[in-house]
């Protein structure tokens, strides 16, 4: 049996695909695995923020097409970069164990602190509004490109610092670049941050992929995605969600900003582990109501 895995061609995307392939190979050494890389529309357009060019779906469109056309059997994504509405023809068949979900600060090579004369770079509205609260004296400016491209911009002197996902930095082996790790209380993570998702065609026998699947990560991701989906939160929406499990109880913390505003609220609620989607909906409706109906 041969399985072709499609991936974006960035170094991080390839590493993440290889991690999934290694898990499959360890459980099924008889399976032949092939990696197919490609550049997505989201990788090609770097002069505009994602909300201006179509959102997170631009990172999966070409990979989805490869699945549907049979050129690939599986695709691997950072789950936080996937649209909140799942295509029934291309279901998520596995989610990885969660890597550290926090955000980190990276400084230019040789720098010891942020330079207030230069902007602080980030790639999402979620980070931007939280960073503006943490650093009211700093300009926060969008930065596009894969992680290594962003680091090049940083080291060229375009930014005083970058805020990135800890998970990606760890998978790239760049922990030495980290100047500060933000607690989830300082910067609430994006829904599913640190989790990889594996997609396949609906008719694909995904049995071998179970070796890469973490049921607990699936529960917290279902809860977080439900929260964001209920608020109609996408790439341009300042929304965040972070769920944890203790025993048979899920605790979900959500962030929601009012329409056209950088004012935001953070709230939490708890519920049974077997009802993650309902818990996400409950917290979302509560927080939307607090903003007078929201979206």
> Active-site residues: which are they?
81
Please state, in angstroms and rounded to a whole number, the distance separating the CA atoms of residues 74 and 267: 36
Please state, in angstroms and rounded to a whole number, the distance separating the CA atoms of residues 92 and 41: 21
For the beta carbon of residue 272, count every other beta carbon within 10 angstroms: 11
DSSP alpha helices (H): ranges in 39-179?
Answer: 41-44, 50-53, 61-68, 125-134, 147-155, 166-171
Residue 175 C-beta-side C-alpha neighbours within 13 Å: 5
- 11-36 per-residue burial string, b: 16 or more CB within 10 A, e: under 16: ebbeebbbbbbebbbeebeeeebeeb
Strand partners, 104: 164, 181
Please state, in angstroms and rounded to a whole number, the distance separating the CA atoms of residues 134 and 142: 17
For the beta carbon of residue 173, count every other beta carbon within 10 angstroms: 9
């Amino acid at each position: 049996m041969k399985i072709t895995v499609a991936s974006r061609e960035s170094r991080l995307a390839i590493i993440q695909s290889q991690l999934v392939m290694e898990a499959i190979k360890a459980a099924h050494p008889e399976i032949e695995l092939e990696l197919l890389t490609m550049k997505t529309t989201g990788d090609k357009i770097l002069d505009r923020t994602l909300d201006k060019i179509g959102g997170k779906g631009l990172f999966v469109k070409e990979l989805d097409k490869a699945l549907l056309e049979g050129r690939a059997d599986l695709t691997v994504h950072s789950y936080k970069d996937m649209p909140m509405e799942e295509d029934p023809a291309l279901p998520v068949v596995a989610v990885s164990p969660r890597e550290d979900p926090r955000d980190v600060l990276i400084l230019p090579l040789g720098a010891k602190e942020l330079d207030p004369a230069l902007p602080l770079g980030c790639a999402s509205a979620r980070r931007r509004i939280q960073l503006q609260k943490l650093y009211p004296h700093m300009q926060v400016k969008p930065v596009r490109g894969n992680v290594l491209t962003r680091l090049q911009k940083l080291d060229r002197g375009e930014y005083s610092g970058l805020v990135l996902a800890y998970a990606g930095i760890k998978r790239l082996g760049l922990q030495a670049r980290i100047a500060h790790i933000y607690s989830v209380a300082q910067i609430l993570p994006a829904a599913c941050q640190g989790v990889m998702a594996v997609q396949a065609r609906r008719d694909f026998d995904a049995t071998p992929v179970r070796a890469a699947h973490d049921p607990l990560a699936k529960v917290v991701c279902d809860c977080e995605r439900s929260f964001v989906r209920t608020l109609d939160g996408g790439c341009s929406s300042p929304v965040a969600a972070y769920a944890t499990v203790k025993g048979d109880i899920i605790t979900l913390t959500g962030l929601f900003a009012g329409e056209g505003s950088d004012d935001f609220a953070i709230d939490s609620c708890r519920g049974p582990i077997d009802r993650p989607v309902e818990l996400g909906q409950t917290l979302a409706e509560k927080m939307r109501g607090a903003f007078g109906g929201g979206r």
